[in-house]
Structure 1
Amino acid sequence: MQLPIVVGVDGSDGSLRALDWGAAEAARSGLPLRVVHASLWEHYEGMRPAFDTGRPAEQVLAEHLVASAQERACRLHTEVKVITDVRPEDPVNALVHESHEAALVVLGSRGRGRIAGMLLGSVSLAVAGRSHCPVVVIPAAAPDAQPKPGRVVVGIGDAPGPSAAAHFALAQAASRRGELIAVRAWRCPAHETADHPLLAGSPAAAHRQQAADHLEEVLAVLERTGFETDVHRSVVQGPVHQVLIEEAEGAELLVVGTRRAGGHGPHLGPVNHAVLHYASCPVAVVPDTR
C-alpha cells in the first residue's frame, strides 16, 4: 500500500502553493495525493446557502473547495491520483490524525482568517510539532531566484549517528538526482581559552575540528545506506538557525528534525521555529522517534 502525500487546504493563497508543491512531489515520487480540508463547521449557526441543501453552508463551501483543489492538481499533473476528504473537526487534530498514514503532510506557512497576517500560521506550527510523519511547510512567497534543481540542505546536530531527518534528506536528494548539503554549525564558548585542558592551540580551531570530525562520522554511516547522490560538507561557525537559513538560500528543500522526549510528542525548539519562520525555501520537519 502506497502512503499518500497529504495536503491541507483552506482556500488561502498559502494552501494553493502547498497544493502545487504537493502535487508536483506526488508526480515526482509516484505517490497518490490526498487533499484534506478540516473545519468545525458545526460551530456556525444560521448559515444556509440560497440553494438550501439541509447542510451547513460551511460544509457546502468546504466540498467545493476540495473539489476545486482536486481539479487544479489534476490539471497540473494528469498522472497523479487525487483523493479528497472533508472532515468536520479541528484542522490540527485532523491533520495529525492523517499523519499516521501519510508519507508527507504538506501545508502552507500562512492560513486564512485572523492568522493570515501572522508570519507563520498556528495550524502549520502545531501540525509540524505533533505530526507522526515528515511535514513540509511551504513559504508564503516564492524565492527571489530559482533554486538549484535537486539541492537539499540538512542540519546535522549533536546526536552520535544519522537522525531520521538526515536519512529523509539523503533520500530526497537522491530521488531528485541532486545534491545533499550536510551542515554542521559550531560555536566557540566565549569563556574558553587556549589554557583549557581539552584544547590545544586555538580554541576556535579545536571546536571547528570537533564539528568536522563529528560530521564525517555521521556521514560515514549515512552514506552506507546505498543512496547514490553527491554529498557536500559544510562546517560553519555561528548560531544554528542563522547558519541553516543562510545555507538554505537557493535550495529546493531544507530538512530539520524534532525529537520525542519522555514519551511526549515531538518538540519544536527555537531552531525549528526560526527556520520555519524565515527560511526562503520549503522546510521539512522530520520527527525522530529514537
Structure 2
Amino acid sequence: MDLPLVVGVDGSEPGYRALDWAADEAALRGVPLRVVHGSLWERYEGAALARSLGRPDTRDLAGEIVRVGAHRARERHPELPISLAALPEEPEYALVREGRNASLLVVGSRGRSGVVDLLLGSVGLFVAGHTDCPVVVIRGNHDNRARTPVHGRIVVGVGDRSAAAVRFAAEEAARRGAVLHAVRAWRCPAHETIDHPLITGEPERVHEERAAQALEAALADLPPGAKTERSTVEGPARRVLLGAAEEADLLVVGVRRRPGHFGLQLGRTAHTVLHHSPCPVAVVPERD
C-alpha cells in the first residue's frame, strides 16, 4: 500500500497554495493525499483567522478548513484519493506524527511577526527539523511549480552526507522530465593561499578537484541516461545553493538526523535556505 502524501493546511491562502502543490505532487507520484489541520494552529500562526470567520468553536473551524482543502484538491485532480484529518492537538506535533506514515509531508508558511512571505513560520521550521520523512516547505512568495514547472530544473545540494537527498532529487526530476542539477560548494582555507606567493592558486585547484570527485561519487548510482548538470562552486554552501535556486523549481537539501538527539536538527545551510530560498525547499533526512 502506498503511503500518502500529507499536507498541513491552516485556512490561509498561502496554506491552500501549498495544498495545490501537494495535490499536484500526489498526482505525479500516484499516491493518496491526506489533508491535515491541527486545531490549535491559530495559537501560533493565525489567531485572527478564527475571529475573522466568526467561528469560536475550534473543532468546527478545523473541520471546515480540511473540507475546503479537500474540495480544492478534488477540483484540481478529480481522481485523486483524499482523506481528511482535523486533529485536536498542536499543529507541529500533529504533522510530525502524521509524517511517520507518509511518503512526503508538505507545509506552507505565511511568515511571522508581520514579515509576510520573507521568513519561515514556526510550524514549518519545527516540522522540517523533526519529521522522519522528507518535507517540502512552500513559503507564500513561492510560485506553484509542481504542475507547470517554470525552469525544468531540480537542484540538489551535495554535501558529505547526501545519498538520500540525491536519490530524492533524482526521482523528482525523473517524474517531471526535468534536469537534475547537482551542486557542491567548496572552500579553500585562507591560510593555504598565503604560505608562499608563487603557489597561490594551487590549493584552490586541489580543493575544487576534490569537490568535483565528491560530486561524481554522489551521482555514481544514478540510472544511465539521467539528465544531469554538475557544478562545483567556491563559497559557503548556503550562499551557493540560494544562487542555484534562482533557476530551480525545487531545491533539495539533506539534513543529518541523529537517533536519540532532541531539538531542531537542521543545520545552518538548511535553516538558511528554508528562510530565503526563491523556490520550494525539500528537506530530506540523512540517517547516521
Do the structures match in fold with TM over 0.5? yes
Matched, 1:237 2:234: yes
- Is contact 1:27–1:77 with CA below 8 Å preserved after alignment? yes
* Structure 2 SS opposite 1:185: strand
1:241 and 1:149, CA in 2 relative to 1: closer, same or farther beyond 3 A? same
- Is contact 1:115–1:121 with CA below 8 Å preserved after alignment? no
Aligned twin of 2:275: 277
Q: Which structure: larger Rg?
A: 1
Q: How far 1:76 moved relative to its partner? A: 1.0
Question: Quick one: distance in 1 between partners of 2:247 and 2:193?
Answer: 37
How many matched pairs? 274
Q: How far 1:102 moved relative to its partner? A: 0.3
Question: Quick one: distance in 1 between partners of 2:259 and 2:98?
Answer: 23
* Structure 1 SS opposite 2:248: coil
Q: Write out per-residue CA displacement over residues 66-89 of structure 1, whole angstroms, 9 at most, x where no aligned residue.
A: 111110110011121111110000
Q: How far 1:116 moved relative to its partner? A: 7.1
Aligned twin of 1:129: 129
1:78 and 1:232, CA in 2 relative to 1: closer, same or farther beyond 3 A? same
Q: Counterpart amino acid of 2:109? A: S
Aligned twin of 2:82: 82
Q: Counterpart amino acid of 1:156? A: V
Q: How far 1:96 moved relative to its partner? A: 0.5
Aligned twin of 2:104: 104
Q: How far 1:130 moved relative to its partner? A: 0.3
**Alignment RMSD (CA, Å):** 2.9
What is the TM-score with the length of structure 1 in the denominator? 0.86
- Is contact 2:256–2:265 with CA below 8 Å preserved after alignment? yes
Give the fraction of aligned pairs with identical amino acids, expressed as a percent: 50
Q: How far 1:202 moved relative to its partner? A: 1.5
* Structure 1 SS opposite 2:192: coil
Aligned twin of 2:24: 24
- Is contact 1:152–1:180 with CA below 8 Å preserved after alignment? yes
Question: Quick one: distance in 2 between partners of 1:260 and 1:3?
Answer: 21
Q: 10-19 or 275-284: which moved more? A: 10-19
Q: How far 1:192 moved relative to its partner? A: 1.0
Q: Write out per-residue CA displacement over residues 213-270 of structure 1, whole angstroms, 9 at most, x where no aligned residue.
A: 11112212x32xx375211111111110010011011211100011122532571111
1:227 and 1:109, CA in 2 relative to 1: closer, same or farther beyond 3 A? farther
Equivalent positions of 1:238-257 (< 5 A) are: 238-257=235-254
* Structure 2 SS opposite 1:207: helix
Matched, 1:204 2:204: yes
Q: Write out per-residue CA displacement over residues 136-195 of structure 1, whole angstroms, 9 at most, x where no aligned residue.
A: 001211359985454110000024xx5211111111111211110000001111111375
Structure 2: runs of 5 or more not aligned: none
* Structure 2 SS opposite 1:184: strand
- Is contact 1:171–1:227 with CA below 8 Å preserved after alignment? no
Q: Counterpart amino acid of 2:234? A: Q
- Is contact 1:194–1:202 with CA below 8 Å preserved after alignment? no
Question: Quick one: distance in 2 between partners of 1:281 and 1:219?
Answer: 23
Question: Quick one: distance in 1 between partners of 2:225 and 2:6?
Answer: 27
Q: 88-97 or 210-219: which moved more? A: 210-219
* Structure 2 SS opposite 1:275: helix
Aligned twin of 1:12: 12
1:203 and 1:194, CA in 2 relative to 1: closer, same or farther beyond 3 A? farther
Question: Quick one: distance in 2 between partners of 1:19 and 1:227?
Answer: 34
- Is contact 1:186–1:238 with CA below 8 Å preserved after alignment? yes
The equivalent position to 1:154 in structure 2, one of 137, 153, 156, is 156
1:204 and 1:264, CA in 2 relative to 1: closer, same or farther beyond 3 A? same
* Structure 2 SS opposite 1:204: helix
Q: Counterpart amino acid of 2:172? A: Q
Question: Quick one: distance in 2 between partners of 1:122 and 1:201?
Answer: 44
